[in-house]
């Protein structure tokens, strides 16, 4: 038989011919290899008796196809061709994948070959296509924050908010089944790695945010964007009963912080902004233990991270300056998503960010260039993600709040820092400004009383307290900046509490 005749036949027909000729090992051969095997059949001679045998086998295969086995043969051909197409698609997907890790995880979740697919199909036929329960009592249970990728699957970050060696793979089917969102605190049994898998896989979800999950009745959760934002109405008391730093007593009167506040601590370098942020964290966790505190340190010194971890009991999330800009942006995005999930459940969350200037710089390095460059080398597209982060702070009318207090650098000599600050200056509703002149005189806390304040402070302060604060501001405004702050610090140290100090202001002038 002529080779061109065989080449025109489908792969399934060639396999029938090989079966008729009683050839061995033809099942795994490609089409060209199978043709070579058929042509060389018949004692190694492609002509003569061998060729006659090939023609007879081809006629027999055609006859079987025409006399009743045709439908089955065509089905086999289509099935084989479909499988070949699927294999080709899988190969292309693997070649195009930017990261080997993502390719492995995608193969595990639906692209792992025909054998796994047939196995899953057999399981599905056994229980009506529903998820088959398995004994998970002996499996290890892990808990972590869910970080979803654009492809639909994700990982439980078990050792922090950045990728780590103990992360757990979460398949796309689990994400859809349980309605999981990025930032959820998820726990469940895991299946250990097999073969080339890099991470263990989550078998099922036991709890979300510590609440046990009933697969038969998964409640609908509110979306953060559906919640109604409103002005802060409830105040965070920063003054401690057992004695507070003078800085916190000043902030409590001059720039009160409410639940849902969006505040900026504007400071030149070395003016004490990190110290004030640390005192804020300690005051909030002492006076408001029900509040979930998160301290986010971006592009910060490692020793500052250690100091925060030892001085506060809240979550300290960090990406130090020796890490790439992509890590800075990744940890910030997962932190804000984690906070949103807590607010959706009616929790009060506080994020202390140091600093929003460095976060914007990180986005400027990591984000794709848009071609629209502002003064100082700032890409206009790089300012949107940090503004979205800062703009998430709000008081929720239905319950819960997200408070963000961020530091912003000024007077650094960098045009980029000035442009970044100008973009954020009008977005906050509370501002605490620190003065370089006071810092140079070594007057701490170096708070600029006149430039600091809170919008809608009448919603946070009692009427008599508000009247006393306004009287205090008028008196201090008539004095030199350094002298007024020194006088205020002396008077605060002479009184035990802000209430006692404000009562003195009511009775007499401050002098």
Closest CA relative to residue 75, chosen from 7, 10, 29, 8: 10
According to the model, what pLDDT value does residue 197 have? 83
According to the model, what pLDDT value does residue 242 have? 78
| Helix H or strand E segment including 295 | strand 292-300
According to the model, what pLDDT value does residue 510 have? 59
**DSSP state, 65?**
I
Q: How far apart are the C-alpha atoms of 438 and 447, rounded to whole Å?
A: 8
Q: How far apart are the C-alpha atoms of 281 and 331, rounded to whole Å?
A: 20
* In contact, 501 and 457? CB cutoff 8 Å: no
pTM assigned to the model: 0.73
* Per-residue pLDDT tens listing for the chain (511 residues): 677 778 778 888 888 888 888 787 777 777 887 788 888 875 444 444 555 556 666 666 655 555 444 444 444 444 444 444 444 444 444 344 344 444 444 444 444 444 444 444 434 333 333 444 555 667 889 999 999 999 999 999 999 899 999 999 999 999 999 899 999 999 999 998 887 788 999 999 999 988 888 777 777 888 999 999 999 999 999 998 877 899 999 999 999 999 999 999 999 998 989 999 999 999 999 999 999 999 999 999 999 999 999 999 999 999 999 999 999 999 999 999 999 999 999 999 999 999 899 999 999 999 888 888 888 899 989 999 999 999 999 999 989 999 999 999 999 999 999 999 999 988 999 999 999 999 999 998 999 999 999 999 999 999 999 999 999 999 999 888 789 999 999 999 999 999 999 988 888 765 5
Q: How far apart are the C-alpha atoms of 332 and 304, rounded to whole Å?
A: 18
HSE-up of residue 172 (Cα within 13 Å, Cβ side): 13
* Beta-bridge mates of residue 315: 294
Q: How far apart are the C-alpha atoms of 51 and 41, rounded to whole Å?
A: 8
3-state class (DSSP) for residue 323: coil
3-state class (DSSP) for residue 448: coil
According to the model, what pLDDT value does residue 90 have? 44
* In contact, 350 and 291? CB cutoff 8 Å: yes
According to the model, what pLDDT value does residue 120 have? 43
* Beta-bridge mates of residue 155: 147, 169
According to the model, what pLDDT value does residue 216 have? 77
3-state class (DSSP) for residue 26: coil
According to the model, what pLDDT value does residue 76 have? 42
Cα torsion 119, 120, 121, 127: sign: positive
Between the alpha carbon of residue 502 and those of residues 31, 253, 499, the distances in Å are 93, 9, 5
According to the model, what pLDDT value does residue 131 have? 45
Neighbours of 475 (CB within 10 A): 16
Note if the bond before 355 is cis, omega within 30 degrees: yes
């Amino acid at each position: 038989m002529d080779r061109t005749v065989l080449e025109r036949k489908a792969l399934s027909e060639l396999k029938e011919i090989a079966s008729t000729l009683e050839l061995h090992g033809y099942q795994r051969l490609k089409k060209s290899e199978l043709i070579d095997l058929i042509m060389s059949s018949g004692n190694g001679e492609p002509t003569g008796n061998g060729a006659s045998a090939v023609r007879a086998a081809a006629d027999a295969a055609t006859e079987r196809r025409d006399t009743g086995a045709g439908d089955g043969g065509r089905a086999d051909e289509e099935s084989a061709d479909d499988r070949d197409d699927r294999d080709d698609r899988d190969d292309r997907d693997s070649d195009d994948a930017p990261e080997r890790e993502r390719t492995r995880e995608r193969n595990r979740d639906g692209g792992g070959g025909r054998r796994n697919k047939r196995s899953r199909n057999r399981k599905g036929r056994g229980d009506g296509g529903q998820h088959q329960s398995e004994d998970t009592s002996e499996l290890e249970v892990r808990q972590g924050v869910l970080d979803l990728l654009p492809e639909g699957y994700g990982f439980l970050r078990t050792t922090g908010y950045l990728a780590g060696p103990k992360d757990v793979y979460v398949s796309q089917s689990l994400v859809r089944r349980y309605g999981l969102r990025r930032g959820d605190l998820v726990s469940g049994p895991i299946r250990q790695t097999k073969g080339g898998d890099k991470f263990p896989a989550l078998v099922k979800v036991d709890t979300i945010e510590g609440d046990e999950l009933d697969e038969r009745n998964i409640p609908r959760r509110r979306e953060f964007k559906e919640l109604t934002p409103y002005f802060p109405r409830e105040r965070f008391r920063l003054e401690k009963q057992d004695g507070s730093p003078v800085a916190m007593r000043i902030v409590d009167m001059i720039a009160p912080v409410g639940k849902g506040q969006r505040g900026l601590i504007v400071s030149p370098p070395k003016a004490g902004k990190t110290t004030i942020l640390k005192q804020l964290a300690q005051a909030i966790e002492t006076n408001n233990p029900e509040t979930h505190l998160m301290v986010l340190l971006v592009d910060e010194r490692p020793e500052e991270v250690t100091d925060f971890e030892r001085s506060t009991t809240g979550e300290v999330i960090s990406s130090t300056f020796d890490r790439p800009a992509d890590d800075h942006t990744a940890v910030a995005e997962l932190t804000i998503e984690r906070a949103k999930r807590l607010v959706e459940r009616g929790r009060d969350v506080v994020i202390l960010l140091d600093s929003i200037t460095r976060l914007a710089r990180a986005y400027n390095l990591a984000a794709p260039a848009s071609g629209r460059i502002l003064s100082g080398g700032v890409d206009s597209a790089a300012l949107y993600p940090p503004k979205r982060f800062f703009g998430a702070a709000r008081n929720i009318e239905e319950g819960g709040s997200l408070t963000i207090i961020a530091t912003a650098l000024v007077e650094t000599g960098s045009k980029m820092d000035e442009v970044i600050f100008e973009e954020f200056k009008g977005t906050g509703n509370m501002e605490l400004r620190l003065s370089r002149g006071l810092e140079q005189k070594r007057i701490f806390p170096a708070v600029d009383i006149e430039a600091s304040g809170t919008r809608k402070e009448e919603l946070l302060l009692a009427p008599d307290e508000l009247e006393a604060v306004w009287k205090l501001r008028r008196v201090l405004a008539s004095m030199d900046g350094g002298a007024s702050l020194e006088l205020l610090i002396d008077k605060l140290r002479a009184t035990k509490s802000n209430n006692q100090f404000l009562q003195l202001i009511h009775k007499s002038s401050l002098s």
